[in-house]
Amino acid sequence: MNTPKVAVVILNWNGIKFLRDFLPYVLASTWPNLDIVVGDNASTDGSVAFLQGMYPQIRIIENKENYGFTGGYNRVLAQVEADYYILLNSDVEVQPGWIEPVIALMESDDAIAAAAPKILAYHQKTHFEHAGAAGGFIDKFGYPFCRGRIFYEIEEDKGQYDNTCEVFWATGAAMFVKKKYWDEAGGFDESFFAHMEEIDLCWRLKNMGYKVMYCAESTVYHVGGGTLNSENPFKTYLNFRNNLLLLKNNLPAWRAFWVINLRFWMDLLALVRFMMEGKRKDAWAVSRAHQNFVRQLFKSNVKSQKSKVAWGKSQTGMYYRSIVWDFFFGKKHRFTELEVEKVKS
């Protein structure tokens, strides 16, 4: 196998604790043609000084302000030359040979644009982790889920998903992407700021005819919630707003119209649920998400228009049922319980 140039790029914002804990594992990676880069989003916790003092061999690229996950990575990767980028969260523990299987998979097929390893939970290493698990899927209404994680139900890893396969999206916690396709797709959509931007990128890549893969032969361990935990109303806002942007960006207008209309009503049910649970800040976050989305509704998006030209060209990993219905009413809480023949392959 060739040894293409690989750059592990970690975007940091006030994550000095994670850099201390997990950078040594990244430095122990065994890929022979490797650069390690930390992009810093204007941290104020001494992260840059720590890196300069402890790891002078690591390249540091400093952004002037916090541009979020999307803008931060776009600006940093524009300054990195490699055949492959690995976008790695700072709160991920890797193993020495974690890169080799994924690069071997991606080198085997030029149509593979992005891939991700198996994502297990750092604090419970027998179980999958929420952000990625064993490969990302999406239902016909735009709800993302994973093999090994549907909504809040997280499975134990018993080898049930140890088959490498094509999926719909690769997690941004440990995303491998070919630079030429990153450039062709235009990188992340910065209107997302953070959350679901990797799904948007993968959907664009698939609309352009490329593949997204899950590599079962590589495993990493993710802490999760390092920047925004699940109880943060801002995360609620981003998830609801960005899920609608995802549909607007990647579906043709005729399909987006009816799906987004339906999603507004489904989101209203979520808002009512938050109110009944006493989570008023989360309910307000859903309302703000809708307001912001409406303001952006008629803004043109060059990235999405480019991919919509070939919409439907590669939709492997889309579940042609409602995951909400199947999970909450059908009591199907595991990927293996779904009607897998409804997953486009």
Instruction: Please give the Cα distance from 111 to 121 (Å, whole number).
Output: 30
Q: Please answer whether residues 319 and 338 qualify as being in contact, where contact means their C-beta atoms are separated by less than 8 angstroms.
A: yes
Residue 323 — pLDDT band, cuts 50, 70, 90?
A: very high
pLDDT of residue 296: 85
Q: Please answer whether residues 283 and 311 qualify as being in contact, where contact means their C-beta atoms are separated by less than 8 angstroms.
A: no
Q: Name which residue leads in pLDDT, 306 or 248.
A: 248
Complete domains list, the chain, with CATH: 1-90 (3.90.550.10)
Instruction: Please give the Cα distance from 10 to 127 (Å, whole number).
Output: 24
Q: Name which residue leads in pLDDT, 201 or 344.
A: 201
User: What is the mean pLDDT of the segment spanning 324-344?
Assistant: 89
Residue 307 — pLDDT band, cuts 50, 70, 90?
A: low
Give percent of the chain above pLDDT 70. Answer: 93
User: What is the mean pLDDT of the segment spanning 167-187?
Assistant: 97
Q: How many CB atoms lie within 10 A of CB 187?
A: 20
User: What is the mean pLDDT of the segment spanning 143-166?
Assistant: 97
Sorted by sequence, the CB contacts under 8 Å of residue 330 that are 6+ apart come out as none
Sorted by sequence, the CB contacts under 8 Å of residue 317 that are 6+ apart come out as 135, 136, 137, 138, 166, 167, 168, 169, 206, 212, 343, 344
User: What is the mean pLDDT of the segment spanning 272-301?
Assistant: 91
Q: Give yes or no for residue 1 having a pLDDT over 70.
A: no
User: What is the mean pLDDT of the segment spanning 336-340?
Assistant: 88
In three state form, how does the secondary structure of the chain look?
CCCCCEEEEEEECCCHHHHHHHHHHHHCCCCCCEEEEEEECCCCCCHHHHHHHHCCCCEEEECCCCCHHHHHHHHHHCCCCCCEEEEECCCEECCCCCCHHHHHHHHCCCCEEEEEEEEEECCEEEEECCCCCCCEEEECCCCEEECCEECCEECECCCCCCCCEEECECCCCEEEEEHHHHHHHCCCCHHHCCCCHHHHHHHHHHHCCCEEEEEEEEEEEECCCCCCCCCCHHHHHHHHHHHHHHHHHHCCHHHHHHHHHHHHHHHHHHHHHHHHCCCHHHHHHHHHHHHHHHHHCCCCCHHHHHHHCCCCCCCCCEECCCHHHHHHHCCCCCHHHCCHHHECC
User: What is the mean pLDDT of the segment spanning 252-269?
Assistant: 93
Q: Give yes or no for residue 301 having a pLDDT over 90.
A: no
Q: In the numeric block, which tokens belong to residue 143?
A: 């709800």
Instruction: Please give the Cα distance from 318 to 167 (Å, whole number).
Output: 8
Least confidently predicted of 122-131, 244-253, 336-345: 336-345
Residue 303 — pLDDT band, cuts 50, 70, 90?
A: low
pLDDT of residue 74: 98
**Residues 26-56: pLDDT tens digits?**
999 999 999 999 999 999 999 999 999 999 9
Find residue 117's DSSP bridge partners. 215
Least confidently predicted of 86-90, 136-140, 298-302, 305-309: 305-309
Q: In the numeric block, which tokens belong to residue 101?
A: 């299987």
Residue 304 — pLDDT band, cuts 50, 70, 90?
A: low
Residue 87 — pLDDT band, cuts 50, 70, 90?
A: very high
Q: In the numeric block, which tokens belong to residue 83?
A: 């055949």
The pTM of this model reads: 0.94
pLDDT of residue 313: 61
Find residue 115's DSSP bridge partners. 176, 213
pLDDT of residue 344: 75
| Maximum C-alpha span of the chain | 57
Sorted by sequence, the CB contacts under 8 Å of residue 91 that are 6+ apart come out as 15, 18, 22, 122, 222, 223, 224, 226
Average pLDDT, the chain: 93
